[in-house]
Amino acid sequence: MKRAVWIILFVVLLPFVTQAQDVRVSATVDSTRYLIGEWIHVQLNVDAPGTVKLQLPSSDDDVLEGEFVSAEDAEVEENDGRRLYRQEMIATVFDTGSIALRVRVRYTRQGDTTTYEALSQPIALAVTTVELDTSQAFKDIKDVIEVPLTIWDYLLYAAVLLLLLLAAWLIYRWYRRRQDRPVEEAPVIVPDIPAHVTALRALETLRERQLWQHGQHKQYQSELTDILRTYIEQRWHLHAMEQPTSEIMPGVAMIGLSPSLVEELERVLRLADMTKFARFVPTSEQHENGMRFALTFVEKTRTSDETLSGPSSAASVVEAETSGETEHGEETEHGEETEHGEETEHGGGSKHV
């Protein structure tokens, strides 16, 4: 008796359990008559449990008795553990007659890898072809119609002709210019002026300007030492123009000059520093000694293969300076020793004790 009750309950509840697990598909169209190849707009509704994973139509295999064209994104609504999918899709049919169109939806259940299918109800469609009027006779193919030229056609041809003539004229001008272009001669390479020539010319110019004789002591000492710094930089590639005296002298001492030249160079540079920064006013003798040393320094340190194209020698400049009468009343004779123990020989530079 108890077993019979269980059987009855199973039979009664089975449809409800099955309905809860089923996927129901319905499809509707807006018309039942279509021409062959005409697009058919299908409204697809899928009612499925929330635990299944649906695969909505996306290929020709999903449209029975027809072909798949496209589909929009589905709208999803959830209600009591179930989901309602609404989708607009387009199908077409290339057969004529009565067609039973059906839509297939595939799905998988949770924990099950088997793919199940659910079909919509058949949609009865009447597909026809384009009707031809057979009562009318067939017409032959017409001959090619000659279209007369208009004013715009003539203007177009004239514009094309003008463009061709302009292009030909430009090409002709380019060719003539290329033929008339003079042959470019190789540039004349002017040899660089040796460093000692540049320095001696600058010293001669500075001496002729007589700056310190007119009270411009700072300007004179600044230009004198700039000439020496430039010569040192060009002759030995030392950064003499960018460094103070204290940083220049160690580099000069390492280039192999005699200690007396290095010592006198430092004395001249420091005298200029005092004049420029400490408002020191050198005497006329100090100015002249600085010029003599600069000329002697350049003459003694010039390279042996350089030719002098400026003043004939440093001695000629010294002689021109010492043979004249200075504005401060100081006279220097050949071979006579100066107040600071300096002897000057004709053409031999100066010697400092």
Looking at 78, 93, 128, which one is the last position of a domain?
128
Looking only at the bridges linking them, the beta strands covering 67-71 and 24-29 are unpaired
Number of independent structural domains in the chain = 2
Domain containing residue 257: 195-351
| Highest mean pLDDT of the ranges 127-136, 162-171, 233-242 | 162-171
Helices (H), the chain: 2-21, 151-180, 195-209, 217-236, 245-253, 259-277, 284-301, 314-323
Looking at 74, 103, 128, which one is the last position of a domain?
128
Same-domain check for residues 256 and 334 = yes
The answer to whether residue 212 scores a pLDDT higher than 60 is: yes
Q: Which residues contact 256 (CB under 8 A, 6 or more apart)?
A: none
- The pLDDT of residue 213: 93
- The pLDDT of residue 22: 85
Confidence tier at 186 by pLDDT (50, 70, 90): low
Same-domain check for residues 207 and 302 = yes
The answer to whether residue 8 scores a pLDDT higher than 60 is: no
Same-domain check for residues 343 and 244 = yes
248, 229 contact by CB (below 8 A): yes
The answer to whether residue 262 scores a pLDDT higher than 80 is: yes
Same-domain check for residues 202 and 346 = yes
Q: What is the pLDDT of residues 132-161, one digit of tens each?
A: 777 777 778 888 888 888 999 999 999 999
Helices (H) and strands (E) in the chain, counts: 8, 13
The answer to whether residue 163 scores a pLDDT higher than 70 is: yes
- The pLDDT of residue 190: 59
Q: Which residues contact 307 (CB under 8 A, 6 or more apart)?
A: 194
- The pLDDT of residue 327: 40
Q: What is the pLDDT of residues 40-69, one digit of tens each?
A: 999 999 999 988 999 999 999 999 999 999
Q: What is the mean pLDDT of residues 106-133?
A: 90
Instruction: Report if residue 149 sits inside a domain.
Output: no
The CATH number of residue 119's host domain is 2.60.40
Q: What is the mean pLDDT of residues 182-209?
A: 81
Instruction: Report if residue 140 sits inside a domain.
Output: no
339, 351 contact by CB (below 8 A): no
In what helix (H) or strand (E) does residue 75 lie, and over which residues does it extend?
Answer: strand 75-79
Instruction: Report if residue 162 sits inside a domain.
Output: no
- The pLDDT of residue 177: 86
Q: What is the mean pLDDT of residues 95-117?
A: 92
Instruction: Report if residue 151 sits inside a domain.
Output: no
At 45, the amino acid letter reads: N
What percent of the chain clears pLDDT 70, i.e. is strictly above it? 77
Same-domain check for residues 223 and 345 = yes
Instruction: Report if residue 9 sits inside a domain.
Output: no
Same-domain check for residues 120 and 234 = no
Q: Residue 166 and residue 137: Cα distance in Å, rounded?
A: 57
Q: Among residues 266, 268, 284, 275, which one has the least CA distance to residue 321?
A: 284
The answer to whether residue 108 scores a pLDDT higher than 80 is: yes
The answer to whether residue 349 scores a pLDDT higher than 50 is: no
Same-domain check for residues 200 and 330 = yes
